[in-house]
Amino acid sequence: MANHPIPTVEQLVAKARGVYSETFGGKCPNIAVCAPGRVNLIGEHTDYNQGFVLPMALPLVTVVVGSQTSGKSVSMLTLSEAVEESQRVDFDLPTSTSPLLPGKPCWANYVKGVIQHYRGHPLPGFQAVIISSVPLGGGLSSSASLEVAVYTFLQQLCPDDGDKVAKAMACQKAEHTHAGVPCGIMDQYVSVLGRAAHALLIDCRSLEATPVTLADPSLVILITNSNVRHSLTGSEYPTRRRQCEEAAAVLGKSSLRDATLEDLQAARGGMDGVTYRRARHVIEEIERTAQAAVALRQEDYTEFGKLMVESHNSLRDQYEVSCKELDDLVSAAVEVKGVYGSRMTGGGFGGCTVTLLQADAVELAKQRITEKYNGSPTFYITTPSEGAQVLSL
């Protein structure tokens, strides 16, 4: 029941450098960057509805090491053992008449999308190795971590204008066009702009963020991986997004950010029951997230935990993106004295829960979860971390 050890950035870089040298003829990389995954404390499925979210960057990161080459070709290798296809990919950089298109292997589409939408030109050819401590399909934004790490690597080859929000938006666009996931902006935003010892209250309409201090030493953020992997490229995520857009249209709003529960109740006859429930979750979750940020600023962890549980229940019952494994993890956690709250985090259908608890309750919480969960959970004790960084070699 030990915590899953989080490798240090230095350990990841050392491993990637060794593989780079083995793969590319004994040469050494001269560029190294990293970008974090994230955990969303509250505000789920609100980002693509222009609402509020409250994520933090994680010490789990994707590292890219590499070097510029002559010519216009790209060679990349991933060290992820979870990919089910080729771990190496070779392709030519895009041109005005020959854009990069998605294909196989699937993991490379995130890389291709970032290259295609990169905001600096002209890019040179390069060789690189990717390594990550962010679990794939765990709801901790392994995809955004990869996209932002690749973008940060490209910045070292051919600098763009340095606009961090535009960087996040380019990475989001890459996921839309090349991975086929119509995600909101949260994951890429916090991977670029995350701050140590802070969560970020992000307004997904204005794209402004307010740091919220999260550095109380008596507090722990425990992530529990159900080890049930999800895939957001199925129909569920796009379906939820479409249902929200349909609800907003019925309400005469540009997005559900502008809707109230009174608006929704008045228009209930104009939409089916499923669409009503989806919209109700989003409207209430946007308000919950704003309330949670206030509670966190006031160090009212009891109130924050209550809002987390309400969020989970709504995701389970109204948005219907939870699953038995996540529900069981949350139920086991909230039974433990010293646990303020727990909820599923990420897109849903598996992945992780996030639990806010007192530091002295961690071992008991892990024990209770392990006893009650019909699976093999993985635990990460995490702290709010920095966004994407250039590393020294």
Over the stretch 143-196, which tens digit does the pLDDT of each residue have? 999 999 999 999 999 999 999 999 999 999 999 999 998 888 999 999 999 999
Q: Does the pLDDT at position 2 exceed 60?
A: no
Name the pLDDT band for 98 (thresholds 50, 70, 90).
very high
Q: Name which residue leads in pLDDT, 169 or 229.
A: 169
What number is the average pLDDT over the span 284-298?
98
pLDDT, average across residues 231-260: 89
Tens-digit pLDDT profile for residues 314-358? 999 999 999 999 999 999 999 999 999 999 998 888 899 999 999
Strand order from edge to edge, sheet including 339-345: 339-345, 352-358, 219-225, 378-382
H/E/C letters for each residue in the chain?
Answer: CCCCCCCCHHHHHHHHHHHHHHHCCCCCCCEEEEEEEEEEEECCCCHHHCCEEEEEEEEEEEEEEEEEECCCEEEEEECCCCCCCCCEEEEECCCCCCCCCCCCCCHHHHHHHHHHCCCCCCCCEEEEEEEECCCCCCCCCHHHHHHHHHHHHHHHHCCCCCCHHHHHHHHHHHHHHHHCCCCCCHHHHHHHHCCCCEEEEEECCCCEEEEEECCCCCEEEEEEECCCCCCCCCCHHHHHHHHHHHHHHHHCCCCHHHCCHHHHHHCHHHCCHHHHHHHHHHHHHHHHHHHHHHHHHCCCHHHHHHHHHHHHHHHHHCCCCCCHHHHHHHHHHHCCCCEEEEEEECCCCCCEEEEEEEHHHHHHHHHHHHHHCCCCCEEEEECCCCCCEEECC
pLDDT at residue 85, rounded to an integer: 66
Mean pLDDT of 88-92: 96
Average pLDDT, integer, range 82-88: 75
Q: Is residue 187 annotated as part of the catalytic site, yes or no? A: yes
How many Å apart are CA 91 and CA 341, to the nearest integer? 47
- Domains by residue range for the chain, with CATH: 9-213+385-391 (3.30.230.10), 219-382 (3.30.70.890)
Determine the average pLDDT of the residues in 357-363.
97
- Average pLDDT for the chain: 94
Q: What is d(CA 172, CA 178) in angstroms, rounded to the nearest whole number?
A: 10
pLDDT bucket at 234, cuts 50 / 70 / 90: low
Q: What is the mean pLDDT of residues 72-84?
A: 87
Query: Residue 302 carries which side chain, given as an amino acid letter?
Result: T
> Who wins on pLDDT, 76 or 83?
76
Q: Is 320 exposed, middle or buried (0-12, 13-18, 19+ CB in 10 A)?
A: middle
Determine the pLDDT at residue 3.
64
Which pLDDT score is estimated for 124? Answer: 97
Q: What is the pLDDT of residue 233?
A: 47
Q: What is the pTM of this model?
A: 0.93
Q: Which of 47, 161, 187, 328 is catalytic?
A: 187
Query: What does the H/E/C string look like for 75-114?
Result: EEEECCCCCCCCCEEEEECCCCCCCCCCCCCCHHHHHHHH
State the average pLDDT over residues 17-32.
Answer: 95
pLDDT computed for residue 348 by the predictor:
87
Specify the pLDDT at position 139.
Answer: 83
